[in-house]
Structure 1
């Protein structure tokens, strides 16, 4: 094999190595969207400082659960699950200037409170927020909204 053939092989390996993660993330998002209603939703995983701890992700409705997945992850399981029976919508607010740089444009922040005492901040579009609030309030007959 001459020098030119070796350079072509190395270039092909580099292109494939760069394309595989992009194709996997696209396929993962498509697979997640087939399992239920999917929307962009950032989650605050840590509140150590102002604007800190936000992770971009997607959330989907799966039966009586809201499942949150990191956007750039290889995991096929959700990072956080919010069961409808123990979840409650808390305070809504606009992102502060530091947070608005980290989040998508035109998002609102909602505090999701669980009956076990935990709370999470979620950032999503106004349309997704309306859908989430409707989903929380529309529990099936016999289920109790907290």
Structure 2
């Protein structure tokens, strides 16, 4: 019985340490958001969390999670804005005033993200600075081989 109790205590301490680490590190390095996956009705599906920009990826960390990994990862090359809106009366009861709601899709899956004006500006700039998904990078080595082969045949 003593071993079981010690195992449970160790698991509880580890969970508290993971939660504290995640809360302290992510809150200081990310932008606070409220996110939900569409389609959703009324006030259902909203989840508080933090987003962090990591190159071409947007990492979303749920507030009530102790996982050291991001809960969702979005790539900006697949992002598409569908519009913005204000808060509804029901949403105003649990969201801070001044938040704007962005309707955005990543890879065909639509989400609503509620952000303050600074977070909205950062998200818009991050998405718009991405190269178009069809833009191809020139492979100079392959191009050089193609040119020299043609020259050698003539």
TM-score, normalising length: structure 2 = 0.68
Work out whether residues 107 and 126 of structure 1, in 8 Å CA contact, stay in contact via their aligned partners in 2.
yes
Deviation at 1:63, TM superposition (A): 1.2
Question: Which residue of structure 2 lines up, in the alignment, with residue 75 of structure 1?
Answer: 67
Runs of 4+ in 1 over 3 A off after TM superposition: 23-26, 45-48
Structure with bigger gyration radius: 2
Question: Which residue of structure 2 lines up, in the alignment, with residue 11 of structure 1?
Answer: none
TM-score, normalising length: structure 1 = 0.71
Residue 112 of structure 2 aligns to a residue whose secondary structure is: strand
Residue 41 of structure 1 aligns to a residue whose secondary structure is: strand
**Aligned Cα RMSD in Å?**
2.5
Work out whether residues 67 and 78 of structure 1, in 8 Å CA contact, stay in contact via their aligned partners in 2.
yes
| Structure 2 unmatched ranges of 5 or more | 1-11, 135-154
Deviation at 1:53, TM superposition (A): 0.9
Residue 46 and residue 53 in structure 1: after superposition, are their counterparts in 2 closer, same or farther (change >3 A)?
Answer: farther
Deviation at 1:46, TM superposition (A): 5.9
| Structure 1 unmatched ranges of 5 or more | 1-16
Whole-Å separation in 2 of the counterparts to 1:109 and 1:25:
28
Question: Which residue of structure 2 lines up, in the alignment, with residue 100 of structure 1?
Answer: 92
